[in-house]
Amino acid sequence: FHSQIPQPPALPFIGNVTYLDRELPIQGFALLAQQYGEIYLLDILGRKVIVLNTQELANEVSNDAKFRKGVIGSLDEVRYISGDGLFTAREDEPNWAIAHRLLMPAFNTMAVRDMMEDMRDICSQLLLKWERFGPDHVIDPSDDLTRVALDTIALCSMSYRLNSFYTENQPPFAASMTEFLRECYIRSTRPSLVQALMTGTNAKWESDAKFMTDVATRILNERKEKPIEKKDLLNTMLYSKDPKTGQGLSDDTIVKNLLTFLIAGHETSSGLMSFMTYYLIKNPEIMRKLQNEIDEVLGGQPVQYQDLSKMPYLTAVIRETLRLSPTAPMRMVQPLEDTYLANGKYFVKAGASLLVNTWVYHKDPKIWGEDAQEFHPERMLNGKFEALPPQAWQPFGFGIRGCIGRPFAWQEVSLVMASIVQKFDLSFVDPTYNLELKQALTVKPKDLFIRATPRNQAP
């Protein structure tokens, strides 16, 4: 009466590696879900991964009493720079609990509200750039929104100006980050013997890691030499003590968490804003509705903190973007004890690697209907969001290891996107553009180019 978890045909030694899509992992996983359904097993170089593709299964493993976060595969590679920092810590590492207790209050809604002016500072740099370049300029939105997200998290968390808007090419920190994270994924799919022989690739990966660690270390040292009054995250980490143990954080742990914020805090947000830009241009009637709401609430004035709670359509558009294109597309969990999934149907061992495929299960037709693949913010309005089955929408992960930056990201994305849509009419450079994807650890639109026309000058 138990069922075997289906597995695609495997080769000796390498197992199912050939089914993975190196360039676009989520695509390989999604194709397998179409073929194998709610659950399947992959053997990746002897490491078994069980992939979960429905709301029902995602909900079942979203349970802190029975499952813990799995720091395996690419996340394990990211540990090379962020170690036992919040995002990549293993469950039993004491620095996780200390940093968690110390930083939770620093990331709550009230604390994030005080970051509004720093967020606006960076946001205005983007608006000014698009305005000055004018309607003929070809914009790579992922590029500029990455500048926004990276500079915002650096300014808000460590009062540090990366000044990404003052460099022509991708800022060096962002370039290192993107390549480092991409390589982390590929490393997790390579046999260790092959990996050891790729000396050039390894040297590049290590030098990207060193560059980022050096930046974070420099920021910490500068702060220690020249202390400031401001209550930013860096000062919290330097001077607060854990209420439970009385312990503070060591310099090493602070550097790992600074890197954690920079890693976890920029690609996800910038990807979300890029996807939202795409969906708004692709759906002009939704763009118009959003512009109307923004004009009505703001009356031509800049966005203020208290406006953000008065724009339900904006909230719905962000939620729907995160449903269709969750920029953190998957997460791993491990059962604490031997257990069964799907009402006793599938047996899984303690410590097994379970992959919650958010990208796929967010489009579960059982929950969203036959048009699950389409963009309809109306699904998120008028109490429908609140009435969803549990964990049907889970772009920020779950429970104790869920996203600590959620209020931060929400405020940033609301401010930036409301400001862009208030100021500009947006269009594709290629009117026939359809969404394509690229992926490092997170997912973003690929080859999306747009134009921004200031609205008061529109013909």
Footprint of ligand MNH on this chain (CB under 6 A)? 69, 86-87, 100, 153, 260-261, 264-265, 268-269, 272, 327-328, 331, 395-397, 401-405, 408-409
Minimum Å gap between C-beta 89 and ligand MNH is: 7
Residue with tokens 């550097």: 255
The amino acid occupying position 435 is: L
Nearer to ligand MNH, 404 or 450 (CB): 404
What residue is closest to ligand MNH based on CB? 405
Query: Smallest gap, in angstroms, from Cβ of residue 349 to ligand MNH?
Result: 21
- From the list 403, 408, 424, 442, the catalytic residue is 403
Q: CA-to-CA distance for 190 and 14, rounded, in angstroms?
A: 9
Query: Annotated catalytic residue: which of 54, 152, 178, 268?
Result: 268
Closer residue to ligand MNH, CB minimum distance, 347 or 396: 396
CB-wise, 5 or 86, nearer to ligand MNH? 86
Closest CA to 161 of 104, 126, 108, 122: 122
Q: What angle do CA 302, 308, 311 make, to 5 degrees?
A: 105
Q: Is 339 a catalytic residue?
A: no
DSSP 78: H
Q: How far is the CB of 69 from ligand MNH (least distance, A)?
A: 5
- 42 or 75: whose CB is closer to ligand MNH? 75
Catalytic residue among 211, 396, 428, 449: 396
Cβ pair 49, 349 in contact under 8 A: no
CB atoms within 10 A of CB 434: 8
Q: How far is the CB of 6 from ligand MNH (least distance, A)?
A: 25
- The smaller minimum CB distance to ligand MNH, of residues 272 and 425, is found at 272
403 is in an annotated binding site: yes
Helix (H) or strand (E) holding 98: helix 94-103
Q: Shortest Cβ distance from residue 400 to ligand MNH (Å)?
A: 7
Active site annotation includes 403: yes
What's the half-sphere exposure (Cβ side, CA atoms, 13 Å) at 325? 29
Is residue 422 within 8 A of residue 303, CB to CB? The reply is yes
Listing DSSP states for 217-257 in one string gives HHHHHHHHHS------HHHHHHH---TTT-----HHHHHHH
Q: How far is the CB of 370 from ligand MNH (least distance, A)?
A: 26
Instruction: State CA 437 to chain mean position distance.
Output: 14
Taking the complex as a whole, the smallest distance from the CB of residue 324 to ligand MNH amounts, in Å, to: 13
Burial of 353 (0-12, 13-18, 19+ CB in 10 A): buried
Residue 161 or 455: the one with the smaller Cβ distance to ligand MNH is: 161
d(CA 28, CA 5): 18
3-state secondary structure (DSSP) of residue 400: helix
Q: Which residue has the tokens 């194998």?
A: 36
Give the residue with the Cβ less far from ligand MNH, 233 or 348: 233
Phi and psi torsions of 39, nearest 5° = -150, 140
Contact by Cβ (8 Å): 190, 182: no
Instruction: Give the Cα separation of 120 and 146 in Å (integer).
Output: 15
Closer residue to ligand MNH in complex, CB, 331/451: 331
123 is catalytic: no
Instruction: Kindly state the helix (H) or strand (E) to which residue 427 belongs, with its residue range.
Output: strand 424-428
CB of 420 to ligand MNH, least distance (A): 16
Cα–Cα–Cα angle for 116, 440, 361, nearest 5°?
Answer: 85
What is the rounded distance in angstroms from the CA atom of residue 284 to the CA atom of residue 395?
Answer: 25
Which helix H or strand E contains 356, and what residues bound it? strand 353-356
Phi-psi group of 11: left, alpha or beta (phi > 0 → left; psi -120 to 50 → alpha; rest → beta): beta
Which residues define the annotated binding site? 403
Binding-site sequence positions for heme = 403
Please identify every residue annotated as catalytic. 268, 396, 403
